[in-house]
Structure 1
Amino acid sequence: MHRRSLLAAATILPAAAARAQPAWPNQPIRLIVPFAAGGPTDIPARLFAEEVSKQLPQRVVVENRTGAGVVVGTEAVASAPKDGHTLLYSTIAHSVLRPLFPRLPFDPVADFQPVALLGVIPMILLVNNALPAKTMQELVALFRAKPGEYDYGSSGIGGAVHLATELLLKRAGNLRVNHIPYRGSAAGMPDLLSGRLAMFMDVAAGGLTYASRGDARAIGISSAQRLPQAPDIPTFAEGGVANAESYTWHMVFAPAGTPAPVVQAINAAFNKAAAEESVQRRLTDLTMTLRSDSTPETATRWLAEEIAKWEAIIKDAGIKVD
């Protein structure tokens, strides 16, 4: 009798545990985007939210939470219930929070579970048409011959463009070029086109627009391979600057402590969305290379590598956010 009781208990307990674990999702999912509505991060986030909503019994609702860079929106997810119903859609900005904001109300690593790396977008290096440099080799030689005499622009201190440019300058031999930050690429690009700035890096879609019109000269691209939309633009490595690969990337996070089965379900839903032809077609127009095979483990490794790379660049360049 005692043996039969134990066997019965062994059968009942898993079933009871399954009943205790609520199904996911059992309410609408909030996808927090710590960037402004209508911007280059918000647009893909909404596309993913729409596609994932088609797969699930509940909708994914995008919520833009801006403030203090990405801190306000990111904190909202860190403090949310660990049930998979509040997610973070963020970028390279997440990997530089710790060195740029030393007194954060959360830990960017310990308080988050990377779920899926959705895609990466490279950057194109533009120079003004009057600059006497038509290749990366010529540009490096020019800056090396006249240290501190030229200026480059960025979309803001500590942003992807600023960091990618500092990485390039370091890998090219610690070149000295003065940094002029702007409130977004659109604000600074006129100074490049007029010749006030020697160079300006921009996300590939924006950079291609200026280069294709002949407004500026494209010197190189920050990806490991040439971009299919611009096969004539060499990579930085092809131009003689190795280990300067950089991207702005898009990743989904859950609060740390979210049950593993829920994390896997979220991962599967976003990977399936990334594999949809309509999603790939629309995001390819934004020069995003989609990844539909990312796991929580590969996303975690990617984030760790990005944090290590950018923390070193921020420290070396002395980058500080006011």
Structure 2
Amino acid sequence: MLNPRRRLALAALAWAPLALAALPAAAQDAQQQPVHLLVGYSAGGPVDQGARLLGAALARELGTPVLVENKPGANATLAASEVSRAKADGLTLWFAASPTVTISPNVMSRMPLDPVKDLTPVAPVLSYYNVLVANNSEPYKNAQELVAYGKAHPGKLSYGSAGVGGSNHLGALLFARRSGIQMNHIPYKGNAPAMTDVIGGQISMMMDIISTASGYIQGGKVRAIAVTSPQRNASLPEVPTLAESGIEGLKGFDVGGWYGVYGPKGMAPELVARLNKAINAALAQPELQKRYRELGYDEWTGSPQKLAERAATERAMWATVTQGIVVD
């Protein structure tokens, strides 16, 4: 008869994808091979931060290490491509930020993979929204004043982004179009240098993910104009939404993104179901929920089908916004 400690150990190992019959017997015995969770961005950014928080919680559910690996480059398609070529054994997964799945296929001239055909949706993780921030010396303090200023001074406003075709580029472009103003786009190699220039006054404003922008706002470095979510964000409750600005073209404005986990194509349905269950259990851990809420994220959990359907809907939506935009 097994002692209690041995029973607990076996129960934990039952969660691990390594325990599935698809893996070699030696790997099943060792139960030590880690899961590699690839991130298409540099360490320290919001996507990396989200992945590392999930990885720690997921390791507890799987009973095996989860190693987060940064593979930045080519709008995060390098990481996605590496996962698409991996064995379909559940040991190599991709922590995806939605732009690579929903925007990049519409703007990249040489997309190295087809996210629909070459990857397997595993689980949704989080939804996120941006906040529009401006340099403190700008004369407008809310969306109404910004739009009025933009109409009175066409072409004077400028906004930064993490690069051409990024979600904050296209979110700001959509805001400008729907509010009827002209703004000059200044692309940067990441959100951090763009934020530096907003603070320094080299550019007027930018949209940034709430989780990283909130520190600058609370520290008085930039002025928050509005969030892009349909409801106010719990971490910035005093900041209004663009949708509630009273501007006709911004009614119902709802532009955000999400994180999700994907695996290589050809994964066994049983393996996908096992990983999906483990990820949802990790996301239900109170300490992880608390941390994500503090960072301004919204809970978004569910099935692989839920992830695939949202990706398809947003890919079609961004196709209309990105016409004429090409990223080499």
Residue 20 of structure 1 deviates from its aligned partner by 9.7
Aligned to 2:302: 294
Contact 1:158 1:321 in 2 (8 A): yes
Aligned to 1:309: 317
1:41 aligns with 2:16: no
1:180 aligns with 2:193: no
Counterpart residue identity of residue 45, structure 1: A
Map Cα deviations across residues 5-46 of structure 1 (whole Å, 9 max, x no partner).
xxxxxxxxxxxxxx9943799443221212222322112212
Contact 1:116 1:267 in 2 (8 A): yes
Aligned to 1:52: 58
SS of the equivalent of 2:103 reads helix
Aligned to 1:210: 216
Distance 1:142 1:122 in 2: 25
SS of the equivalent of 2:54 reads helix
Aligned to 2:97: 91
Residue 307 of structure 1 deviates from its aligned partner by 1.0
Residue 112 of structure 1 deviates from its aligned partner by 1.6
Contact 1:171 1:243 in 2 (8 A): no
Map Cα deviations across residues 158-213 of structure 1 (whole Å, 9 max, x no partner).
2222121112112223x210011122232123432343322221111333223323
Q: What is the percent sequence identity of the aligned residues? A: 35
Q: What TM-score results when the alignment is normalised by the length of structure 1?
A: 0.85
Cα pair distance change 1:192/1:238, threshold 3 Å: same
Aligned to 1:28: 34
Distance 1:142 1:124 in 2: 19
SS of the equivalent of 2:75 reads coil
Aligned to 2:159: 152
Residue 132 of structure 1 deviates from its aligned partner by 2.6
Counterpart residue identity of residue 161, structure 1: N
Contact 1:155 1:185 in 2 (8 A): yes
Aligned to 2:116: 109
Aligned to 1:247: 256
Counterpart residue identity of residue 50, structure 2: P
Residue 237 of structure 1 deviates from its aligned partner by 0.3
Q: What TM-score results when the alignment is normalised by the length of structure 2?
A: 0.84
Aligned to 1:16: none
Distance 2:20 2:74 in 1: 39
1:65 aligns with 2:71: yes
SS of the equivalent of 2:278 reads helix
Aligned to 1:124: 131
Question: Any stretches of 5+ residues in structure 2 without a counterpart?
Answer: 1-18
Aligned to 2:267: 258
Cα pair distance change 1:295/1:288, threshold 3 Å: same
Distance 1:159 1:217 in 2: 22
Map Cα deviations across residues 24-83 of structure 1 (whole Å, 9 max, x no partner).
994432212122223221122122122111122432222222232312211111112223
Contact 1:31 1:86 in 2 (8 A): yes
Bigger radius of gyration, 1 or 2?
1
Map Cα deviations across residues 284-322 of structure 1 (whole Å, 9 max, x no partner).
23211223x31111111111122112222111xx33324
Match of 2:148 among 103, 117, 141: 141
Contact 1:171 1:244 in 2 (8 A): no
SS of the equivalent of 2:53 reads helix
Distance 2:322 2:211 in 1: 26
Distance 2:273 2:23 in 1: 13
1:200 aligns with 2:200: no
Map Cα deviations across residues 129-157 of structure 1 (whole Å, 9 max, x no partner).
33232221221122123222221112222
SS of the equivalent of 2:145 reads helix
**Structure 1 moving runs of 4+ over 4 Å:** 23-27
Distance 1:61 1:23 in 2: 19
Counterpart residue identity of residue 156, structure 1: G
SS of the equivalent of 1:88 reads strand
Match of 2:88 among 44, 60, 82: 82
